[in-house]
Amino acid sequence: MEQNQEGIMERQGSCLLLRCASQNSLDESSQKHISQNHPHSKERPPYRNHLHTQKAFDVMNVMRKQRLLCDVTLVADTVEIPAHKMVLAACSPYFFAMFSSFEESRQDRIVLQEVDHQALLLLVEYVYTSEVQVTEENVQVLLPAANLLQLTDVRDACCDFLQSQLHPTNCLGIRAFADLHGCLELLSHAESYIELHFPQMDIHVRYFDYNKRRVETGVYNSVFMSHTAAEDILQHFLNGIRPLQPNRILQISMDGPNVNRKFLRLFKESQEITTEKKIIHIGSCGLHIIHGAFQTGHKAAK
């Protein structure tokens, strides 16, 4: 009985050995066959799930809303927004620096003083979802917040939105807004829009240059819309001519279809109050006349 069992085991063992040898031979022959048929074949690229990142962020956003594993709370205008430092740092250079190099890295509650709470809610949602709706109601708070948090994609989206909204009634405001926040491309588009849609108004200023000992002409080119207040034009003009010193100004005149006579009156009144001298206004054509008169008088004085 024992001899029969041993014989069976020996036969089974030999079968196993034969199978292993046979399998190995198959593998080797297959490899040789593949290498012979495809001598220059490349390795198969690794499997990649293109939805993996989106699914992961979707889950993290659900966890954020349920306050699961959140390690920081952002506070703006008393509104508290739970989040994950790792996610914020991965999407914003501002938060990356905050949570890796500054004392906030050890804090679980961060108060953001200069950020509108509605804008912060939208931006945190964007960090997790990559989506944000820019509207007329939120763009003025969303752009500065995105600029501060260095979310450049959102800032650019806001600039694109404002550029699409350029209109004669808002182009000056958009230009000032772009200049304030350093949006150079939007600023350039706004200026081009203004130059295209509104004729130019030139202001000529005659003043005495004590260094050259002669009367000089300064020309200030700008664009003023018909609804722009004369008081605003006056303030900008006074800022522009400050280096000339008010007591040197002898005459001003305006060219172009947008002549603002109220501005001229306000300027003359302000100069007469501050310098106690009369400002000559004889129109731009009088520039040549007055220039000749001053030149003649200057030569005679010599």
Instruction: Average the pLDDT over 197-207 and give the result.
Output: 69
What confidence tier does 203 reach under pLDDT thresholds 50, 70, 90? confident
Q: Does residue 16 or residue 90 have the better pLDDT? A: 90
191 burial level (CB within 10 Å; 0-12, 13-18, 19+): middle
Q: What is residue 16's predicted lDDT score, i.e. its pLDDT?
A: 46
Structure tokens at 119: 């804008």
What is the pTM assigned to this prediction?
A: 0.58
Q: What is residue 293's predicted lDDT score, i.e. its pLDDT?
A: 58
For the chain, the distance separating the N- and C-terminal CA atoms, rounded to the nearest angstrom, is: 146
Instruction: Average the pLDDT over 284-301 and give the result.
Output: 54
What confidence tier does 233 reach under pLDDT thresholds 50, 70, 90? confident
Thinking of the domain 53-132, which architecture would CATH place it in? Answer: 2-Layer Sandwich (3.30)
Contact 264, 234 (CB under 8 A): no
Lowest mean pLDDT among 7-11, 81-85, 94-98, 181-185: 7-11
Given a cut of 90, is residue 40 above it in pLDDT?
no
Q: What is residue 285's predicted lDDT score, i.e. its pLDDT?
A: 47
Given a cut of 80, is residue 225 above it in pLDDT?
no
